[in-house]
A = this chain, B = another copy of it.
């Protein structure tokens, strides 16, 4: 176990758990999620019902006490979910609230924690969605939240420690148990380990990264490439 700290926001989700596994032998992993991830070295357990600002203050205080003045090497926010539908859906507003909380709030909190705790030249990763590069009539709540994350990534060119690299990954369909339950699997689905490998490459500076950019994660015949758009 190294002494370098890394935050995985959404560390108990399908992708988050895979990323925690990837980094746990080389880093002190701090998972932030509603549920504990037993593989992480530290868990910051969120509670439902807090506002954006209150949730941010909670995470800030918890991080401050874990880090004791040390800095973070990276913050990787892979929190999120999916909810579709259009304005005729009775759940339109509750789904929108959920998507905003799961994707946009977590990203905003990650950005603020980056300003407070990332080291210089550290890494900040947010998670968007390739389909939200264009209007998303069939899944408005999801698209609006993800489009907000894209815009946020492109706008945070100041306010972070010197030379911090920021990037938004944009998967298409991840190979998660939940997606396998509801959709038919094909060879364009992205294995979670491929995403973790890309994150590891950026964090270790073995792979190039264009800061404040959006990076599409596209899998073809089981092979995954990331392309900056």
Contact = CB atoms under 8 A, between A and B. Distances in A.
Interface stretch (A3-11, A14-22, A39-47, A147-155): A147-155
Interface stretch (A81-89, A170-178, A196-204): A81-89
Contacts of A114: 87
Interface in A107-149: 108-109, 111-112, 114-115, 132, 135-138, 140, 143-145, 147-148
Contacts of A85: 159
A151 B147 CA distance: 7
Interface of A is mostly: helix
B147 A87 contact: no
A204 B135 CA distance: 28
Contact of A156 (B52, B86, B148): B86
A63 to B, nearest CB: 14
Interface in A45-60: 51-53, 56-57
Given A53-B93, A56-B93, A87 B156 contact: yes
B115 A53 contact: no
Given A87-B111, A87-B112, A100-B100, A144 B148 contact: yes
A142 to B, nearest CB: 10
Interface string A182-197: 0000000000000000
A106 to B, nearest CB: 12
B115 A160 contact: no
A159 B108 contact: no
27 contacts: A51-B97, A52-B96, A52-B97, A53-B93, A57-B93, A85-B159, A86-B156, A86-B158, A87-B111, A87-B112, A87-B114, A87-B158, A88-B115, A88-B158, A88-B160, A92-B108, A93-B108, A100-B100, A100-B104, A104-B148, A137-B157, A137-B158, A140-B159, A143-B155, A144-B155, A147-B148, A147-B151
Interface of A: 51-53, 56-57, 85-89, 92-94, 96-97, 100, 104, 108-109, 111-112, 114-115, 132, 135-138, 140, 143-145, 147-148, 151-152, 154-160, 212
**6 A-B pairs with least C-beta separation:** A86-B159, A87-B159, A87-B115, A147-B151, A88-B159, A52-B97
